[in-house]
C-alpha cells in the first residue's frame, strides 16, 4: 500500500505515530498531575479539620469520607476556565450565579451525616454534581434536586459519563423535597435557607440526620445539624459559620411551622 507523503516526500506515518504518543503522554501527565493535586487537597482538608476541631467536636474525618475525596475528580465538575484551580480549597463559580462548595465544607457536611452504605440520601442543590458524587462513593443511592434546569441537565450528563449509576438527578424546587422516594435516612442541603423547610423535616426518617446552612442570604449563616429521634422529636446543633448561595424557588414563608 502506498503511504501518504508529505510535501517533502517523507512518510507521514511516523509523524502521525508521534502525534498519538504526544497526546497520550500529555493526558497521562495531566491525569497524574490532577491525582497529586487531589491528594494534596485531602491533606489540606485534614489540617483544616484539626484547626476547627472545637466546632466539629472531632479531629479526624471518617476514612470513607477521605477516600471519597481522594477518588472524585473535582476538575471534572468545574468549568474549563477554572480547571487549573479545581483542587484549591475554595468555592468556585459554575455559572448561573451558583458555586461548587469549598472541599472542606463538602467533607465536613458529608462526615457529620455519618453516611453508611445502606442509606437513602436526598441532596438539595445539585449544582455541578460534586457533592452528590462524593456521597455516592459511600452510599448506595443518592437522589439530588436542582432548581436551575441547565445545571440539572449538565450534572445528569456528567454523572452518567463518570459512571455514577446510583445517583438520580431531578430538576425541581428542592424546598419541597422528593416525596416519591421518602423517607430519607440523610438529607443534605447545599443552599442557605432562613429556616429548615418543613417538607424536608417530614421526609426525614425517624433516626435520620439533616445538614443545612440556616440564615439570611448573602450573609454569614450557621451550618446546622438536625437529628430526628425515633419518636419524631427534633434536636438542632449549630456547627460553625458558613456562607452559601440562597435556596431559591417559589415557596412561601412557612410561618409558625418554621424550625430555625
All three cell numbers of 217: 442570604
Residue 123 is inside which H or E element, if any? strand 120-124
| 172 vs 157: CA distance, rounded Å | 17
All three cell numbers of 229: 429521634
Q: Three-class SS of residue 143?
A: strand
Q: Are 187 and 204 in contact (CB under 8 A)?
A: yes
Active site residues: 101
| 21 vs 36: CA distance, rounded Å | 22
All three cell numbers of 115: 453516611
Torsion of Cα atoms, 146 then 89 then 111 then 215, to 10°: -60
All three cell numbers of 250: 417559589
Residue 11: DSSP 8-state: B
Q: Is the peptide bond before 69 cis (omega within 30 degrees of 0)?
A: no
Amino acid at each position: 500500500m502506498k503511504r501518504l507523503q508529505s510535501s517533502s516526500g517523507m512518510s507521514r506515518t511516523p509523524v502521525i505515530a508521534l502525534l498519538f504518543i504526544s497526546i497520550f503522554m500529555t493526558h497521562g501527565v495531566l491525569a497524574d498531575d490532577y491525582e497529586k493535586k487531589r491528594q494534596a487537597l485531602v491533606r489540606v482538608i485534614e489540617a483544616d479539620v484539626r484547626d476547627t476541631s472545637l466546632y466539629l467536636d472531632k479531629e479526624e474525618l471518617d476514612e470513607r469520607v477521605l477516600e471519597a475525596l481522594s477518588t472524585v475528580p473535582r476538575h471534572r465538575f468545574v468549568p474549563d476556565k477554572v480547571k487549573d484551580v479545581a483542587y484549591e480549597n475554595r468555592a468556585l463559580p459554575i455559572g448561573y450565579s451558583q458555586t461548587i462548595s469549598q472541599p472542606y465544607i463538602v467533607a465536613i457536611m458529608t462526615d457529620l451525616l455519618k453516611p453508611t452504605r445502606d442509606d437513602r440520601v436526598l441532596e438539595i442543590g445539585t449544582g455541578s454534581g460534586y457533592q452528590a458524587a462524593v456521597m455516592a462513593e459511600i452510599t448506595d443511592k443518592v437522589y439530588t434536586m436542582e432548581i436551575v434546569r441547565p445545571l440539572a441537565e449538565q450534572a445528569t450528563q456528567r454523572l452518567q459519563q463518570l459512571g455514577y449509576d446510583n445517583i438520580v438527578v431531578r430538576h425541581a424546587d428542592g424546598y419541597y423535597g422528593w416525596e416519591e422516594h421518602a423517607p430519607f435516612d440523610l438529607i443534605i442541603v447545599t443552599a442557605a435557607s432562613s429556616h429548615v423547610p418543613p417538607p424536608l423535616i417530614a421526609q426525614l426518617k425517624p433516626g435520620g440526620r439533616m445538614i443545612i446552612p440556616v440564615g439570611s442570604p448573602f450573609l454569614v449563616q450557621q451550618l446546622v445539624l438536625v437529628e430526628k429521634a425515633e419518636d419524631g422529636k427534633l434536636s438542632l446543633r449549630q456547627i460553625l459559620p458558613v456562607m452559601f448561595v440562597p435556596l431559591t424557588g417559589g415557596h412561601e414563608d412557612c410561618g409558625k411551622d418554621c424550625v430555625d
